[in-house]
Amino acid sequence: MSSPLKRLCHWGPIAVLGIIKLITWAMIHLMSMWWPPHVSLAAALHSILFITLAALTLYYFLQSLLEGPGFVPKGWKPEKEEDVEYLQYCTVCEGFKAPRSHHCKKCGRCVKKMDHHCPWINCCVGHANHGYFSTFLMFAVLGCFHASIVLVTCLHHAINRVWYLYNGTGQEPMIYLTLTTLLLTLLATGMAVGVVLAVGALLYFQIRGILSNRTTIEEWIVEKAVGRREEQGLHPFVYPYDLGWKANWYQVWAGSLYDGLNWPVLDGCGQYDLTMEQKAQKIEKQQRSRLFSAVSEYSGRWIPILSWPRAALSAPCTDEPRLALGVGDVIRATRQRRQWLFGEKQVQMGEARAPRGWFPREAVVPADEVKVKPD
């Protein structure tokens, strides 16, 4: 995994820093004409409010990026040897996955209490930076909501400046924009409104997850657990980490009190209940899987418009990898779409982690349909 400072050298963090700079510049430039901070105490407080929101947004963004999610130590195993049967083994990190941890392909490590990999901070959101990340989202939404109101109002006055000169009361502030500053202000306004809508939605899901003490991945595991147990007539699954919204909230913002490897659970629940449920789901997933054999080569291109046009028109909208195929490769498929399959190559004994990803359905046939040529 790259060092914290190297995480900044990526399009995601650079884009966020650019957006913060653009919106801050537009606000300072327009506030100097609309409501200069030196004219009154209210104007000064207004400017201080926005600058504070912008500074806090930048601070918590950098904290969530530089702190990182927290990684499970390589080669980790539980203190009690008999507990290994409840855990999954990571062949990349050469250790067991701690409760609530998952391996991130992009980070290349098992992440403590992994929520998701965020390209904007170029690392995962996990145990160590969950509180910083959520606070960053909150201040970003508040700051951009403030900016949206001011920028839209100033743009209205700037575009209608001539009308105000002839028909106004004479008390309206005059907003003067060149073509360049007008275009930059329009861009900043669009960015601010976009952040309020998109990041506001993400903030809602983050708060909902914090209050129930469930990460994005755990939401999906619990949803499958409910359906699986109803279908098989098993007793309902009890999520072990929901300790009540106050305790859940405290757990995120007092993360330093926990090591990210062991977690408090509800009375009557065990430390490995969620992990055992996930293992059971994976076993069933393997049982439902189907073997396929590649009859055509696939380069691994995301949109193979020339070789597989039908598949290219319905490519999966996901950042999951594509799986390059050679004729004769055997793949165990676990998910399907109309023109695509998701699976894992069957590797030889002793080989490292098997590559997996999406590939065109037309490139393979069921393994039991492959005809073996007689000697």
Instruction: Return the active site residues.
Output: 118
Q: Which residue has the tokens 């994005």?
A: 216
pLDDT at site 349: 56
SS3 for the chain, per residue? CCCCHHHHCCHHHHHHHHHHHHHHHHHHHHHHHHCCCCCCHHHHHHHHHHHHHHHHHHHHHHHHHHHCCCECCCCCCCCCHHHHHHCCEECCCCEECCCCCEEECCCCEEECCCCEEECCCCEEECCCCHHHHHHHHHHHHHHHHHHHHHHHHHHHHHHCHHHHHHHCCCCCCCCCCCHHHHHHHHHHHHHHHHHHHHHHHHHHHHHHHHHHCCCHHHHHHHHHHHHHHHHHCCCCCCCCCCCCHHHHHHHHHCHHHCCCCCCCCCCCCCCCHHHHHHHHHHHHHHHHCEEEEECCCECCCCCCCCCCHHHHCCCCCCCCCECCECCCCEEEEEEECCCEEEEEECCCCCCCCCCEEEEEHHHEEEHHHCCCCCC
Mean pLDDT value of segment 197-211: 97
pLDDT (tens digit, 9 = 90+) per residue, 336-357?
A: 888 999 999 987 655 556 888 9
Q: What CA–CA distance (Å, rounded) separates 92 from 86?
A: 19
What the block records as the tokens of 66 is: 């530089």
Mean pLDDT value of segment 167-183: 80
Q: Which percentage of the chain shows pLDDT scores above 70?
A: 94
Q: What CA–CA distance (Å, rounded) separates 73 from 68?
A: 14
Burial class for 350, CB neighbours closer than 10 Å (0-12, 13-18, 19+): exposed
pLDDT at site 317: 86
Domain boundaries, the chain: 4-69+127-212, 289-366
Higher pLDDT, 65 or 254: 65
CB-CB contact of 136 with 19 (8 Å): no
pLDDT (tens digit, 9 = 90+) per residue, 88-113?
A: 999 899 999 999 999 998 999 999 99
pLDDT at site 351: 57
CATH architecture of 289-366: Roll (2.30)
What the block records as the tokens of 115 is: 């929520």
Q: At 71, phi and psi to the nearest 5?
A: -110, 145
pLDDT at site 169: 66
What the block records as the tokens of 199 is: 């990041």
Label residue 231 by pLDDT band (50, 70, 90).
confident
Average pLDDT across the chain, whole number: 91
Q: What CA–CA distance (Å, rounded) separates 80 from 145?
A: 51
Q: Which residue has the tokens 């910083």?
A: 132
**Which among 258, 7, 32, 225 is positioned nearest to 123, based on CA atoms?**
7
C-beta atoms surrounding 162 within 10 Å? 8
Find residue 342's DSSP bridge partners.
335, 358
What the block records as the tokens of 262 is: 């062991």
Q: What CA–CA distance (Å, rounded) separates 29 from 77?
A: 56
CB-CB contact of 100 with 113 (8 Å): yes
pLDDT at site 350: 53
Looking at residue 321, its amino acid is: P
pLDDT at site 324: 94
Label residue 375 by pLDDT band (50, 70, 90).
very low
Neighbouring C-alpha atoms within 13 Å toward the C-beta of 200: 12
Q: What CA–CA distance (Å, rounded) separates 75 from 295?
A: 39
**Which among 217, 221, 198 is positioned nearest to 209, based on CA atoms?**
217
Answer whether residue 257 shows pLDDT above 50: yes
pLDDT at site 148: 97
